[in-house]
Structure 1
C-alpha cells in the first residue's frame, strides 16, 4: 500500500444496538469534512454526541449500502470486527508508454476499525455507552484536527472540476475478517 498519502484511523467498539447508527454518523462526518461542493448539511445524534452529515441522496445511498454490508457480514459470520475504508483519489493521466487514459491516485484514506461487543449487565451498558460516546467525540476531534491541519490541507489536490459535491472519486470498501464484502 502506498503510504505517501495520509491515512487516518478511527477505532470504535460497538454493540449490536448502536452499530448501524454509529457507523452511518462517522462515515457522514468524514464525508462532511472532505466534500468540497455545495452540500446540504444534516445532523446525527448518537449517544448525545452530535455529528455532522451530508444530506445528499447519492451519499446517503452509498453509506447505507456499505453499513448494511458490514452489518450483514457481522451477523452471518463469526467475526466480530471489521473495517470500513473511505479513500479519496484524484484522476491523473496514466504515465505509461502504451496505455492511454487516467488512473485514480489516492490522496487520503480514512480507516474505521469497528469491533462488536455486547455488554452483559446494566452497569456494563452504562460504561459501554459512556466509552462509546467518548470515542465518538474523539473521532470528531481527529477529523477536525486533521482536516484543518497543514498536512490535511496539503493532502487535497487542486480542484479542477467544480461539478457535483465531490470533484474527486470516492471509494468506500468494507472488510470483515480481512475479506472485502458488499
Structure 2
C-alpha cells in the first residue's frame, strides 16, 4: 500500500512589528477553530478590522501565545543579526501547525507495540515583517497587512470546507482525538503548494 504525503497549505502574511503577534495569533486561532475536533464555545477576536474565530481552550491559547511570542523573538533576532538557528532572511519567519494521528504500531522484531504519531495535515504560515520610514509607507503596509490577513482567513475557510477526505477517522474517546504541534522556523523540507485560491 502506497503512503501518501499529507496535504500542506501555505499562507503568506505581512505584518508590522506592532501587529505581528496579533496577526499570527489570529491566523493560528482560525486554523484551530476549524481543525480542533472537540466542542468549543464559539468566540471571536478582533484583529485589525477583521473579526476572527477564537478557541478559548486554555491549552490552545497558551500554545498559540507562546509560539507567537517565539516567532516575534525570532523575527527580532533575525532583523538585528543573522543567526543560523533562525530563518536566514531578516524580517521573515515561518510558523508551522501540524495535526497528528495516533496509530497503533504493529509488533516488531522484539515484540514491542505502542503508538506512533503521523502527520495528516500541515499549515505553513510565512510571515514577512514590514517597516515604514514615512506615514505613506505605514498606511500602505497597514493595507497590505489587512489584505494578507483577510486572504489567509478566507483561504483557511475555503480549504477546511473543501479538503476533508484526508481527515482520519476519530477512533478514540479522548477529548481531543488529534494531537497537534506548532513549530517556529523549522528547517524547510520543501513545503507544499502555495494556496492559489484567489
Q: TM-score, normalised to structure 1's length?
A: 0.89
Q: Deviations over 1:92-149 (max 9, x none)?
A: 1224623421111111000001111202211111111111111111111111111111
1:115 matched to 2:128: yes
| 2:150 maps to which of 137, 141, 165 | 137
Q: Deviations over 1:49-88 (max 9, x none)?
A: 1111101111110011111111112223333211110000
Tell me the equivalent position of 1:169: 179
Which of 33-42 and 17-26 deviates more?
33-42
Q: Distance in 2 between matches of 1:175 and 1:60?
A: 20
Alignment RMSD: 1.8
Residue 41 of structure 1, CA deviation:
2.4
Structure 1 runs, 4 residues or longer, greater than 6 Å off: none
Q: Distance in 2 between matches of 1:74 and 1:129?
A: 18
CA contact 2:130–2:141 (8 Å) conserved in 1:
no
Q: Distance in 2 between matches of 1:96 and 1:132?
A: 51
Bigger Rg, which one: 2
Q: Distance in 1 between matches of 2:71 and 2:4?
A: 25
Taking the TM superposition and a 5 Å limit, the aligned residue runs for 1:82-161 are: 82-95=93-106, 97-98=108-109, 99-149=112-162, 152-161=163-172
Q: TM-score, normalised to structure 2's length?
A: 0.82
